[in-house]
Structure 1
C-alpha cells in the first residue's frame, strides 16, 4: 500500500496525492476556455501521448464533411476514373465521381472526391487548382460549396470574361496568356456540351483582385491573331427586366348600343349593328382586383336580348360605373 502511494507521489511530482477528476468536473473546467485555448491544450496532449493523438484523429476523420471535396470546372469528357486518378496523389480515396445529367447522360462539369483521411483532403486543398484533361479545375470543401448561396463579392472582383476567342485557342493557351498577370485559381475556354467545340469565349479567376485588374488594363488584347474583349465576368452581359401587366387590368374599348346613356356624353344612334360578348372567365377575379366594389358589382351583370322592333336589344345594362371605381370594365369581350 505504501509503495502504491509512493508511486502516485512520484508521478504527480509534488506532495499532493493525485486524485482523478470526474467527467462533470472536467467539463466545468473546459467550458469557459476559448477555442484556441482548447486547440493548444489538445495539441500539447496529442504530441505527448500517442493515445490522445489517435483519439483526435479518429474523431476528426469520422465525419466525412472534413474529407469530402467539391471539384468544379471539369472538362465534359472527364470521367470518374480520371478525376480519382488526378487526386490520388494526395492520399487514399474512399469515393470519387463526376456528376452526370440523368436526361442527357453528359457531364455537368463538376464532381466530388472523398478521401479516407482528413490529412489527405488538407493536402489537396493546399493546391486547389489542378489541370485535368486540358481544363484547370478547382476544389474546395464540399460543405463550403453547398452552404454558399451566392458568389462572393471577392470572386466577382477576381473573375474576368474573355470574348472574341479564336476556335483554335485551347484552355492551356488561354491560361498561359493570362498567367503573366498573376496566379490563376481556375479558368477555361467555354465549350459546347454537344459538339465539344469552343464557343468563342472563356473565363479566368485570379487569386487576387489586383491580378484581374492588370489583365483588364493591359493594352495588349490580341490572342491568336484576334482582338479579344476582357472585362469583369459579372458585367459582360446586361439583364433586361420587362414589367408585365395582368390581362385583367388591361383597358379595352367597349362598344355601346344605340340609345345607351354614357356618362358625360349625349345619346346617339348607332348607324350599324353592334355585337355584344359574354364576359371573360377572369371577371370572377374582379372582386379581388377591385376590393372596394359594391356587392352588386361583385359579379358581371346578366344581360338578356329580347326582340324589340325586329332587333335584339340588350336589357339590364348598368347605367353607370360603380361610384369610386374609375375604369371598372363591364364589357371586356365579344360573345
Structure 2
C-alpha cells in the first residue's frame, strides 16, 4: 500500500487529530498519508443544542459513508462523538494513548468554579455538564454555548459569559490553555464517556489497513474505552440523557465510576465499581445495571417520553 487516505471533519481540532495520526503512520511506515475533509451534518448546524437535532452520530455519518464507499481508508474520531452502534462493515478498534479526560474551567475574571458569585453566567451546551453544575452550584446561571472551540472562547472574551466549560483535551491539543483557570477533576464533574480519547475507524474486511494502524493501539486506553463504551451502550445514552463515566486503570485494577441524571439534576444516580482490567466490558455493563436498577431505567424512560 503506497497511499492511505484519512477522512476527517474540517474543524481545527479534527484536523489536528487527523494530522497527528498521519504523522505517526508516516513515521512508522513508508506510506504517504492524505487527508480528505468531509463536511458533516453536525458541522452545518451550529445554533441548536445537539440533544435537539439527533445527537452524536451527526459528526460521523458522512465520514462513515465515505469509508463504506472506499473513498477513504480510515477515519479519526473523537470517541465521545461516536455512537455505540456502528454501521455494518465498519469497526472502531484502534485507540491511541488518551489525553486528559477532564473538563476545564475558563474565565477571565474568576479562578475556579467555587469562586463564581450568585447569578454568574456559565456557558455549556452539554446536558452532562449542566446537571452536575446545577447540583453542586445551584446559584449559577447556565446558558447554551455552541460553535467550535475558537467561537466558544471568543464568546467568553467578548464578555457574553463569566465562565465557560470545555474539554481540556481539545484545548491542550490546540494550544489554547491560556484562559484555563482550573482543571475540573472527577471529584467535581464526571467527564463524558471517552472524553480525550481518539478512535480510528476502518472497514472490517480491510486487513491491510488494520495491519498498518495496529501499532497505534495503547493498551491502557483500550481497557478504559471498553469499560466506558459498555456503560454507555447499556444505558442507551444519546445526547438527550445526562450521563458521564470514567474508567481509571491502577495496575491491573480498573475502577469505573459513572452517573445518570434527570434533566434538572434532581434525580442523580452515582455508582462506582472495580475489578480486573480483563473484565473491562463486564465492569462497564455491571455499573450501568446498578444505576438502571436504582431508578435509572425510569429516568431514561421519562426523558425520552418528554422528547416525543
TM-score (norm 2): 0.25
Tell me which of the two structures has the higher relative contact order, counting C-alpha pairs closer than 8 angstroms and 6 or more residues apart: 2
TM-score (norm 1): 0.23
Higher helix residue share = 2
